[in-house]
Amino acid sequence: MEIPYTVKPRPDTGLINSKIGIWLFLASEVMLFGALFSSYIILRIGSESWPEGSSYLSVPIGTFNTLVLISSSITMVMAWASLKLKNFKKFQIYMGLTILLGLVFLGVKSFEYYGKFSHHHYPKESVFFAIYFTMTGLHALHVICGMVVNAYFWGPGSKMWQTNPEQFTNRVETSGLFWHFVDLVWIFLFPVLYLL
Amino acid sequence: MSEIEHSEEHIKKHVRVYISVFVALMALTVVTVAASYLQLNTFGTIALALFIASIKASLVICYFMHLISEKKLVLIVLLFTTIFFLGLIFLSLLAYFDPVVYKNVA
Amino acid sequence: MSDHNHEKLGFWRKYIFSTDHKVIGLQYGITGSFFLFFGFCLMMLMRWQLAYPGQPLPFVGNLLGESNMPMGYMLPEFYNALGAMHGTIMVFLAIVPLIFGAFGNYIVPLQIGAPDMAFPKLNAISYWCYLLGGVVMVASFWAPGGAANSGWTSYAPLSVTATIGQTYWLFGMVLLITSSLLGSVNFITTVVQLRAEGMTWFRLPFFVWAQLVTAFLLLLAFPPLEAAGVLQLMDRLAGTSFFMPSGLVVGGEALGISGGGSPLLWQHLFWFLAHPEVYVLILPALGIVTEIIANNTRKPLYGYKIMIYSILFLGFLSFIVWAHHMYLTGMGTTVSTFFQTTTLIISIPSVVIITTLFITLWGGSIRFNTPMLFALGFLPMFGIGGLTGLPLAFNATDIPLHDTYYVIGHFHYVVAPGTIFALFAGVYYWFPKITGRHMSEVLGKTHFWASILFMNGIFMPMFIQGMAGVSRRLYDGGATYELAQGVLHWNEFMSISAWLLALAQIPFLINLFWSPFKGKKANDNPWEATTLEWSTPTPPPHGNFLEAPKVYRGPYEYSVPGSSKDYSPQSQKEI
């Protein structure tokens, strides 16, 4: 017996397996980052003094990175839409752009890290830096994971387009959902760490 | 999703939505940075920044992640996740800041 | 997706790196049983120190190394490591993998009529993550300074300043949590998507419901502990102060850290997982017991829908009761009252489920076979465990009982004679399906009566000691404490019971290894049960069902009036 509903949705739930799987995974991710944001709030309210993020972190760089990540979200969704329109060439361009923008984001992030380290700001300096490095570090780890998956679908994984285009489109949608979630986390991280 | 729903015409309409959402997200990013330079009190700054972030997040989740047309089951899972997440934040906060009142019993 | 030319698979692909849910279930079962035994051994060592504090342990003591038991005398650090690792191993490496990983994997796809789990490769990855996490945990015993020794709760700041074993513990936990998360995504997707035709939500066996709720608890409660684990790793490795308050002095010296963190934060994040975790341990056990009781009373389950609503309510509520573990941390009365109220409310659905099981017994023609004995033994044992929890739920009565042996007794009644009895019941019940042969009834009944006797011998005196005020963390079992003198003699009694309990498992082990080869042959449905796993060949082939099953009725249609037999399988069309 084949495992059913990998390509065609189950009639009563209206979903394919991977769709519900990724949403469940994202639900657990919400709890993971939710716990970190809760920790941030509790530590901040409990602290005697808390530095304004902009006094240590560069708002222009942070803003630039936010714009980069948002752009990578639109290219991701356009990559999926191109597959829906059966335009594989366009998919490759948009997916390539998504990966490239992810690289830009990571490059800028490591430049920021380097700047902090060279000014002797380490996680142990204060709770602010501890939470800054932990949360952005964990986020960067998610960016890397998303990029690895996207790169696979851009490169070797895209062979599936010849054999099973429908399933390939679904796979790109699934990895897209993860990528948008990573963007979503940053949308909160940016004001919380840089602006408040 | 059904075949009719994802006809070529339909997808093209989607793409136009994506582009307007993208423009809105860009604009809101600029707004949130600009707002941080306003001389509001602490509460106002935090509330405004989180409010704008929430709008941006809803745009991403509703349109890029298609939650607006997603099946009921997914919505139920996310609803409960949200409830438990809020429980985690607010109950632990409450536990921190509910003062213990020491009464002199003796 | 899955391999169909399974006949051609070699040994490695078929038995070691398999993606078949049944093989993975057995892998979980074997690995989990090993850890169950290992955790039990740790406890038996501790019981020596508690019964005969300061006396050298003959033979075994000399084998455990100079750094742990020089000349057979147990060092306090080693005692602490044993306690911490006993808790961690039993909860995270033994019971959850056995009841969720092993039984869930093997039984759930069969009961819902699915060919496999929804994501077979992910299923294999969860198992290997779990095994790796387990290896890291056990390896920590050889770390300098020994294994983690800050209690299974790893409260900060003690755990942050502890020896390197704690770092192993944290890495192990991160792996175990990842494994559980992947597993729970897989379980939920499987139950939602792969139910056979006609298997509506209210035709699912209660065991499947229990596993589904459990999977949701794991999915949403574990990530905060993963976050907390990452924060504690940062505290230990990068010198941050997430859980470290300002001005902390250890051993007369101020620590060179920034401070400004909160030790209580760890407790919140830890208990946000660890309370739902208790329900992760008990809900699948209730599921197993329900299957066996319905089958052996030969009558429909009383209040099937009530049980389902209860378990859903229980699952929901278990997320907002966690701070009842923290009444003594200086919470104010408002919050204490809130958590006291939710805790008392959560006892209602548990009582409802137990009561419906008791009512199901009423008027049934009960078959007292070994699985049924264990299932029946479960009911009063879980009852004692549950009812002794009530004084701990009220914050006024919790204050004197907190951290005493009373808590240990309460918790172990729920998990040891509770969940472990359900595990045994499940093994005896599904053994014929897995191997095609019955286990010996004589050995099984010997195993049951000896186990229930010694289980109570271990845990009942804990209530007495606890109410006398004996703390759970004493290295000498209270020998040097004035308040413990009156109840000290129970220590030896409990220890001997524990060692005898180990001997009581010998009939089970003989049964387990002898029966697959020499046991009485069983047909495809030896218990004349109704659920779908009994309508496949024995043992189930790769892909489970010869043709896609169809479901025509509810899960517990026993003794249906007008039927020729006293059971109507779910896949049977006419009565």
Phi, psi angle pair for C11, to nearest 5°? -55, -45
Contacts of A20 in chain B (CB under 8 A): 73-74
How confident is the model over C557-562, as a mean pLDDT?
90
For chain C, give the percent of residues with pLDDT over 90.
87
For chain C, give the percent of residues with pLDDT over 70.
98
Domain that holds residue A115: 17-43+58-195
Kindly tell me if the per-residue pLDDT of A175 is higher than 70.
yes
In a domain, A81, yes or no: yes
In a domain, A144, yes or no: yes
Question: For all residues of chain A together, what is the average pLDDT?
Answer: 94
In a domain, A156, yes or no: yes
Kindly tell me if the per-residue pLDDT of C34 is higher than 60.
yes
pLDDT at C314 (0 to 100): 97
* Nearest chain C CA: its distance from A51 CA (Å): 13
Band (B5; pLDDT cuts 50, 70, 90): low
- C-alpha distances in Å from residue A148, one per residue of A94, A181, C121: 16, 15, 18
pLDDT at C32 (0 to 100): 97
HSE (side-chain half, CA atoms, 13 Å) at A160: 18
How confident is the model over C104-118, as a mean pLDDT?
96
**Short-list C201, C210, C218, CA closest to C349:** C210
Asked if the Cβ–Cβ distance from B95 to C331 is below 8 Å, we say: yes
How confident is the model over A109-117, as a mean pLDDT?
96
Asked if the Cβ–Cβ distance from A127 to C241 is below 8 Å, we say: yes
Q: Does A122 touch chain C (CB under 8 A)?
A: yes
Query: Does residue C102 contact residue C32 with C-beta atoms inside 8 Å?
Result: yes
How confident is the model over C334-360, as a mean pLDDT?
95
In a domain, A103, yes or no: yes
In a domain, A48, yes or no: no
pLDDT at C331 (0 to 100): 85
Rounded CA gap, C544 and C537, in Å? 8
- pLDDT digit string (tens) for C509-522? 999 999 999 999 99
Q: Does A71 touch chain B (CB under 8 A)?
A: yes
- pLDDT digit string (tens) for A124-156? 999 999 999 999 999 999 999 999 999 999 999
pLDDT at C95 (0 to 100): 96
Phi, psi angle pair for C545, to nearest 5°? -115, 145
- pLDDT digit string (tens) for C362-397? 988 899 999 999 999 999 999 999 999 999 999 899
* Nearest chain B CA: its distance from A20 CA (Å): 7
Contacts of A25 in chain B (CB under 8 A): none
How many CB pairs lie under 8 A apart between chains B and C? 44
Domains identified in chain A, total number: 1
Element spanning C254, H or E: strand C253-254
pLDDT at C5 (0 to 100): 46
Contacts of A181 in chain B (CB under 8 A): 65
Asked if the Cβ–Cβ distance from C258 to A124 is below 8 Å, we say: yes
Q: Chain A 9-28, CB below 8 Å of chain C: which residues?
A: 10, 13, 15-17, 20-21, 24-25, 27-28
Asked if the Cβ–Cβ distance from C185 to A24 is below 8 Å, we say: yes
Rounded CA gap, C341 and C320, in Å? 10
Query: Does residue C265 contact residue A42 with C-beta atoms inside 8 Å?
Result: yes
**Short-list C155, C228, C323, C277, CA closest to A39:** C228
pLDDT at C447 (0 to 100): 98
pLDDT at C374 (0 to 100): 97
**For the packed helices A127-154 and A17-46, what is the interaxial angle rounded to 10 degrees?**
160
Band (B1; pLDDT cuts 50, 70, 90): very low
Task: Indicate the length of chain C as a whole number.
Answer: 575
- pLDDT digit string (tens) for B14-53? 999 999 999 999 999 999 999 888 878 888 888 999 999 9
Task: Indicate the length of chain A as a whole number.
Answer: 196
Question: For all residues of chain B together, what is the average pLDDT?
Answer: 87
pLDDT at B6 (0 to 100): 58
Band (B105; pLDDT cuts 50, 70, 90): low
What would the two tokens of residue C109 be? 């796809």
Query: Does residue C30 contact residue C97 with C-beta atoms inside 8 Å?
Result: no
Neighbouring subunits of C (3+ Cβ pairs under 8 A): A, B
pLDDT at A183 (0 to 100): 96
Residues 6+ away with beta carbon under 8 Å from C320: B87, B91, C339, C342
Count of CB atoms within 10 A of residue C55's CB? Answer: 13
Count of CB atoms within 10 A of residue C488's CB? Answer: 18
Contacts of A36 in chain C (CB under 8 A): 227, 231
Looking up residue A185, the CATH number of its domain turns out to be 1.20.120.80
How many CB pairs lie under 8 A apart between chains A and B? 119
Best residue in C112, C192, C214 to probe A by mutation, most A CBs within 10 Å? C192
What would the two tokens of residue C169 be? 């513990």
pLDDT at C276 (0 to 100): 95
Phi, psi angle pair for C250, to nearest 5°? -120, 125
In a domain, A52, yes or no: no
Q: Please return the burial class of C462, using the count of CB atoms within 10 Å of its CB with bins 0-12, 13-18 and 19+.
A: buried
- C-alpha distances in Å from residue A123, one per residue of A115, A193, C238, C239, C377: 13, 14, 7, 7, 53
What is the predicted ipTM? 0.96
Residue in A closest to C2 by C-alpha: A2
* Nearest chain A CA: its distance from B106 CA (Å): 32
Contacts of B80 in chain C (CB under 8 A): 216, 220, 316
pLDDT at B106 (0 to 100): 47
Contacts of A122 in chain C (CB under 8 A): 238-239
Kindly tell me if the per-residue pLDDT of B104 is higher than 80.
no
Residue C249: strand, helix, or coil: strand
Residue in A closest to B6 by C-alpha: A84
Band (B84; pLDDT cuts 50, 70, 90): very high
Best residue in A6, A12, A13, A17 to probe C by mutation, most C CBs within 10 Å? A17
In a domain, A11, yes or no: no
Rounded CA gap, C547 and A10, in Å? 19
In a domain, A2, yes or no: no
- pLDDT digit string (tens) for C412-424? 999 999 999 999 9
Residues 6+ away with beta carbon under 8 Å from C64: C45, C78
How confident is the model over C481-506, as a mean pLDDT?
96
For chain B, give the percent of residues with pLDDT over 90.
61
